[in-house]
A and B are shown apart, each in its own frame.
Chain A
């Protein structure tokens, strides 16, 4: 494949993605605008209750104007879009600071947590998937398949509660909630790091177990497909050892779809783990946005939703590009 062909493909995909994102943002904006205005009223009322504050009417007027709520939906959307191009997402109502600043404060916790979880997921799921495929219909295969299915079927909140009961309550190894312990302020820098790490253990275990199953199944399916391919038969016919056949010929080819999937899931790390973070009160992006959404913080929710949509698109784009780059057999059409 020629380089400029790939470039053209990428540009075209980016173009389509931007159009899609435009409409997704429009839909989300419309939805947000259809929320009952009582949320703004509540905020205005609350703000006007504070000492030395402006009156309720003034706050209402200012808030509706500030978030372009006084304009029509289409007009308001373009005004929002205009602000976004200037890099302004407005101020969060719940956290009373610029949306981007709050985002920057909390996103890294989620990212680190997600990255560590992804790492463990990969080093556990891929080998198990390969083992299951190479020993198809064996006891190991059935066990791994059932474990994978159970992982997919486990409701996050139930598993997290079980983990809390066993490891936090019965064994007392970890705290039930939060990112830092009670005596965090008095710890040395190294101690603070360890404290945070200690608090992240349970959420990461939950994330790994919940997401491991699908990767395991995926690896198994791909590996089986590769093992049935002609070139594997050739390799065996040549008299190569089973080890070489599996780990040199089959596994490398299995990696192609896996790498593309994992590459595609990288942007998702910035979206955080909404349920897990909320359950463990880890102040990451998922937790923050959950509380923003529940309390009707329109600027922050709007930002988070559009950001998530953008990350999904970016993930798909990376998957497609990686597929073309990693596998020379694939021709971009």
Chain B
């Protein structure tokens, strides 16, 4: 009050020089609306509420447009996973090769060879035919029939180092012979070969094969393992390493994991490979200021769109229930009698219907019927709006009951104004201040109701975002405990918005009716 006085004094001081004391222009007249605005803006708390709301609107409606991401844009990340790549066995048993001669070196002869080797005999007889077993080198024997080599038994394996080239029996024989006897060179079919100590076999053109007691096979049939890789594997096994890096010819570096399986007596090599996965629950970063959610969507963008949904639903619901409430309450208050009686009993009945359980049941039904998410949002608004009108009808009726007894209404009736106009032009405008206050407050509570339903999974559904269904993720205890950025920002937005609506409602009430200021 003192402030107001001061203002008046100031005005007097400044304007008294121009106008005489009884000049009307000396008094500044404010319209009722301007008075309300003046009182409102003097209330610091209410202005804070308004600022928060403006921020929330800008954040939700303009933020969604500015944000570089879409509401349901999914992000991916490369995840490093170890995948089964190759298997390694150290050969401890004899292997056999058939020379492809007239007499085939078949499995029966191979078994006989083993028997002969264990007996350390240099020949065996099978079906009255004699076969010769000759030691050619360490753990390397040739099997001959009538002086012709028909097959060989060996422990060290020869494998080609050139992709797509198979080695002939003679080549392998010669290589094995050279390797097992520790020779460094040999020549076959006019080609000179050099054998290194670690098993590499080279010609003048380069390396063609290598000999090793390890067998390394790729899991995938289309992958050819290079000599360098195999050597690296053997080196890692002999050094007892579990992880080794390898850079292939193309310069791509990869981590490989070696693990020994005792039961199978073999090593398995796992390759670390990048796999494209949903970028779920990633922590806040430059790209995603609030991280990403369980579907790999940008959290900040989801919150913006969620605010849009929450605010739009709040407004539409309040508009529906206000329109219904004003019409029914207005009729009830104006006509009185049996109309009033009927409408008020309907209001009583609606007051008694437990709205939250009803909405939950309807939500569950829509779940059961698999209603389309867009349609569902519409139904939700209709249901909430339809359940909200009775309180507004009661308010309007009460106001109108007291207003219609006042003189201006008698005057309106006396001038013969139509009933329709008397209600909507003379009575309703007088109810509007209270109506605005109640609507502002119920906007807040509607947003809470919608959020609660969405939180329970019965309101707004994926792919639409809503502050409620964003927080829904905390039903997963792991998210609750680990990923604060998933649910706390959305909760704070929700709390701030509802709080701002309530503060604004309070401020508006004080501004509209200073006598009520308590």
Contact = CB atoms under 8 A, between A and B. Distances in A.
Contacts of A241: none
A312 B353 CA distance: 9
Interface in A83-117: none
Contact of A305 (B358, B477, B498, B518): B358
Contacts of A158: 471, 487, 491, 494-495
Contact of B352 (A21, A38, A156): A21
B360 A290 contact: yes
B107 to A, nearest CB: 55
A278 B481 CA distance: 19
B508 interface: no
A231 interface: no
B448 A155 contact: yes
B348 interface: yes
Interface string A135-160: 01000001000100110111111100
A313 interface: yes
Most buried by B among A23, A275, A294: A294
Interface in B469-506: 471, 474, 477, 480-481, 484, 487-488, 491, 494-495, 498-499, 501-503, 506
Contact of B471 (A20, A36, A157): A157
B471 A165 contact: no
Interface string A71-87: 00000000000000000
Contacts of A256: none
Nearest to A19: B345
Nearest to A228: B518
Contacts of B361: 31-32, 35, 293, 301
A13 B477 CA distance: 49
Contact of A27 (B351, B353, B491, B494): B353
Contacts of B358: 28, 31, 305
Given A152-B502, A158-B495, A274-B357, A20 B345 contact: yes
A212 to B, nearest CB: 14
B369 interface: yes
A220 B518 CA distance: 8
Interface string B334-365: 00000000000100110111101110110011
B292 to A, nearest CB: 20
Interface in A194-220: 220
Interface in A281-333: 289-290, 293-296, 301, 304-305, 308-309, 312-313
A176 interface: yes
B498 A155 contact: yes
Interface residues of A, number: 54
* A interface: dominant SS: helix
B495 A150 contact: yes
A296 B368 contact: yes
A309 B353 contact: yes
A169 B354 contact: no
Contacts of A161: 471, 474, 480, 487, 491
B434 to A, nearest CB: 15
A305 B360 CA distance: 12
Interface string A226-270: 000000000000000000000000000000000000000000000
A217 to B, nearest CB: 9
Contacts of B499: 149-150, 153
A295 B358 CA distance: 13
A11 interface: no
Nearest to B482: A169
Contacts of A224: 518
A124 interface: no
A226 to B, nearest CB: 11
Contacts of A152: 444, 502
A36 B481 CA distance: 39
A146 B503 CA distance: 8
B451 interface: yes
A157 B348 CA distance: 29
B352 A20 contact: yes
A165 B495 contact: no
B237 interface: no
B353 A24 contact: yes
Nearest to B487: A161
A155 B353 contact: no
Contacts of A165: 480-481, 484
Contacts of A38: 368
Contact of A39 (B356, B357, B368): B368
B321 to A, nearest CB: 18
A154 B361 CA distance: 24
A150 B484 CA distance: 21
B180 interface: no
A240 to B, nearest CB: 23
A275 B364 contact: no
Most buried by A among B348, B499, B501, B518: B518
Contacts of B477: 176
Nearest to B345: A20
A225 interface: yes
Contacts of A21: 352
Interface in B435-493: 444, 448, 451-452, 455-456, 458, 468, 471, 474, 477, 480-481, 484, 487-488, 491
B447 to A, nearest CB: 9
Contacts of A35: 361, 365
15 contacts: A20-B345, A23-B349, A24-B353, A31-B358, A35-B361, A150-B495, A155-B494, A157-B452, A157-B455, A161-B491, A164-B480, A271-B354, A294-B360, A296-B364, A296-B365
For the complex of A and B, the 9 pairs showing the least CB-CB separation, nearest first, are A158-B491, A153-B498, A153-B499, A308-B354, A224-B518, A309-B352, A157-B455, A161-B474, A169-B481
Given A28-B353, A31-B358, 14 more contacts: A20-B348, A24-B349, A28-B358, A35-B361, A153-B448, A155-B452, A155-B455, A156-B452, A157-B452, A158-B494, A161-B474, A176-B477, A290-B360, A301-B357
